[in-house]
């Protein structure tokens, strides 16, 4: 068993007067922070606060770009061309990285958000567009994505370092995809269930799909969604469960933040 794993969360997703998630409480509990970049969520002030919090707690920062869809929180598919996807990601990554540099830190990886993440996991065109944006902006950035996905394949083909992700609070289909949020049980909020899933995945490399079948999962990082109302409690519970098993929480992305 690997005795270290990364714990990441999606953060900085508020907008204007609208608070979304609990960044102040959650950031100290994770090792990597996926900060929204102003497209699906986040605005300059929210992004800067999240970056400053992460830097202050020694948490590695990743860009969390999504479809330009504030109203739908980036969870609706958009038929953007590959060039449009690349251009949007260059804008989003650059915006967050500029804010990070002003706070004495920088981004170390990219994790697409929501519908863009799901589209790129299965389809070559958006996957290559995302990897293309990373290569154009900074070839040293890592990509966080599902193992065995089109996104992982595009990263490997273009010499972009890739880390694999497991979702602690989301149900899986037997093919390894995530159960649609429109389906019952897609989001898991029970602390005991989440901790059991995490420990099973860490110890055996398996997770029980919604059908009841065990499927293989390969991962370097465990994700908790910051917009889950019980995200802070889940993060504390997962950290405690891993600690009891002798598993340390360390960021997957190299470099001082």
Residue 254 has what pLDDT? Answer: 67
Residue 255 has what pLDDT? Answer: 57
Spatial neighbors of 188 by CB under 8 A, at least 6 apart, are: 168, 169, 170, 171, 194, 197
Closest to 60 measured CA to CA, from 170, 146, 199, 163: 163
d(Cα 224, Cα 231) in Å, to the nearest integer?
Answer: 7
Residue 67 has what pLDDT? Answer: 98
CB distance 154 to 128 below 8 Å? yes
To the question of domain 4-249 being in CATH 3.20.20.370, the answer is yes
Residue 155 has what pLDDT? Answer: 97
Spatial neighbors of 40 by CB under 8 A, at least 6 apart, are: 13, 66, 67, 68, 69, 70, 72, 73, 74, 75, 113, 114
Alpha helices in the chain (DSSP H): 23-26, 44-56, 82-102, 114-122, 124-137, 150-157, 191-204, 231-244
DSSP state of 179: P
Per-residue pLDDT of the chain (257 residues; tens, 9 = 90+): 458 999 999 999 988 878 877 899 999 999 999 999 999 999 999 999 999 999 999 999 999 999 999 999 999 999 999 999 999 999 999 999 999 999 999 999 999 999 999 999 999 999 999 999 999 999 999 999 999 999 999 999 999 999 999 999 999 999 988 998 889 889 999 999 999 999 999 999 999 999 999 999 999 999 998 778 888 999 999 999 999 999 999 999 865 44
Residue 21 has what pLDDT? Answer: 76
Residue 18 has what pLDDT? Answer: 81
What residues does each domain of the chain span?
4-249
């Amino acid at each position: 068993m690997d005795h270290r794993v990364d714990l990441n969360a999606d953060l900085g997703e508020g907008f204007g007067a609208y608070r979304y998630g609990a960044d102040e409480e959650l950031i100290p509990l994770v090792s990597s922070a996926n900060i929204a970049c102003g497209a699906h969520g986040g605005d300059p002030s929210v992004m800067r606060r999240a970056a400053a919090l992460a830097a202050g707690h020694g948490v590695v920062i990743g860009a969390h770009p999504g479809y330009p869809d504030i109203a739908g929180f980036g969870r609706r598919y958009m038929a953007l061309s590959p060039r449009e996807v690349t251009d949007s990601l260059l804008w989003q990554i650059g915006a967050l990285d500029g804010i990070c540099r002003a706070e004495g830190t920088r981004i170390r990886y990219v994790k697409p958000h929501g519908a863009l993440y799901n589209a790129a996991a299965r389809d070559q065109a958006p996957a290559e567009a995302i990897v293309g944006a990373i290569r154009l902006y900074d070839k040293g950035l890592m990509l966080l994505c599902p193992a065995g996905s089109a996104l992982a394949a595009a990263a490997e083909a273009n010499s972009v370092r890739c880390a694999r992700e497991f979702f602690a609070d989301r149900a899986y289909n037997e093919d390894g995809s995530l159960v649609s949020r429109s389906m019952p049980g897609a989001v898991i909020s029970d602390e005991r269930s989440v901790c059991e899933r995490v420990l099973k995945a860490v110890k055996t490399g398996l997770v029980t799909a919604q059908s009841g079948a065990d499927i293989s999962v390969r991962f370097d990082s465990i994700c908790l969604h910051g917009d889950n109302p019980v995200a802070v409690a889940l993060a504390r519970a997962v950290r405690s469960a891993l600690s009891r098993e002798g598993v340390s929480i360390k960021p997957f992305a190299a470099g001082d933040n």
